[in-house]
Amino acid sequence: MNDKMQRSSLKQSYEYVLSDLDAAAKLLPLSPANKLRPSRLAAWAMSSRIYLAMANYTAALQYAQMCLSSNDQLLDYNSLNVSANFPFDRFNKEVILSVYIANPAILSQNNHVIDSALYSSYGADDLRRQLFFRINSGLPRFKGGYFGVANCFVGLAVDKVYLNAVECLLRTRQLKEAENLFNKLMATRWKTGKYVPVSFDVQSTALKTVLEERRKSLLFRCLRLTDIKRLNESTDQKVTMRRKLNGNEIVLSPNDPKYILPIPQKELLLNPMTQNPR
């Protein structure tokens, strides 16, 4: 208990988690009897997510394809009741591992408000608009995702693996394969017969489309901050966060030190280390 622990680098942390996932995958069943339990599919899906965060697109694609080769089932959103309070079943066919977090008070139905630019970006025939949101007091609120109730789903699901694979295919210049996979996914998100397939002829334009749809599909899954951080390491996909509050615009620029919270002072007293810059 008296040992002074050294702070691991980000690279060391990633390598440790990936090593654990690799070891776990060798011991787990391919698919779980219960989606509350881990599986080889879950280990592969999580590995894909981590490699994507590291910008190792070849490895992220490899694990995404391993996962999809065993389970590429998609939920047709046309089969869901858009009027239901919570349209998604907790253990629907896309869920690989069901995990949730309890929403903080700021995310309660009465407190949070969806970014107006994000809400307006959904087309009229895009079923995600009705399935993900409800209007409360004249403002759009998130009504729930793949956990089946208002709690945030932070588990692993097939739709996320599709989007990982599509982005990695684009970044490794496999445009036609990315196009086919993307259109297969998006056709299940729009009203029957209303989705117009896209063509990925230019890598940069296609990547912009995929990143936009990733944000619109995976909201409230605790992925956005990781996505923003990795995109801010790029040269042409940097994200500047802008929000208006009481008439004032608040801006968080790419790679601003404020993306990282300070280490609590009590922790520094117990184990001195360099404070995160602010």
Tens of pLDDT, residue by residue over 50-59, are 999 999 999 9
Structural domain includes residue 163: yes
Same domain, 224 and 103: no
Structural domain includes residue 171: yes
Q: How many whole angstroms separate alpha carbon 45 and alpha carbon 24?
A: 13
Tens of pLDDT, residue by residue over 209-234, are 999 999 999 999 999 999 999 999 98
Structural domain includes residue 4: no
Same domain, 209 and 229: yes
Selection from 226, 72, 222 nearest residue 158 by Cα: 72
Banded pLDDT at 243 (limits 50, 70, 90): confident
Same domain, 109 and 231: no
Same domain, 189 and 276: no
pLDDT recorded at residue 111? 78
Structural domain includes residue 44: yes
Selection from 117, 208, 213 nearest residue 159 by Cα: 213
Q: Which two tokens stand for residue 204?
A: 């940069």
pTM for this model (two decimals): 0.93
Q: How far is CA 199 from CA 2, 129, 154, in A?
A: 60, 23, 31
Same domain, 53 and 187: yes
89-126 burial code (b ≥16 CB/10 A, e <16): ebebebbbbbbbeebeeebeeeebebeeeebeebeeeb
Count of domains for the chain: 3
Quote the mean pLDDT of the chain: 93
Same domain, 227 and 164: yes
Give the residue carrying structure tokens 């394809």: 65
Tens of pLDDT, residue by residue over 50-100, are 999 999 999 999 999 999 999 999 999 999 999 999 999 999 999 999 999
Selection from 24, 17, 66 nearest residue 43 by Cα: 24
Q: What percent of the chain has pLDDT over 70?
A: 99
- Domain residue limits at 143: 80-152
Structural domain includes residue 32: yes
8 A C-beta contact, residue 77 and residue 92: no
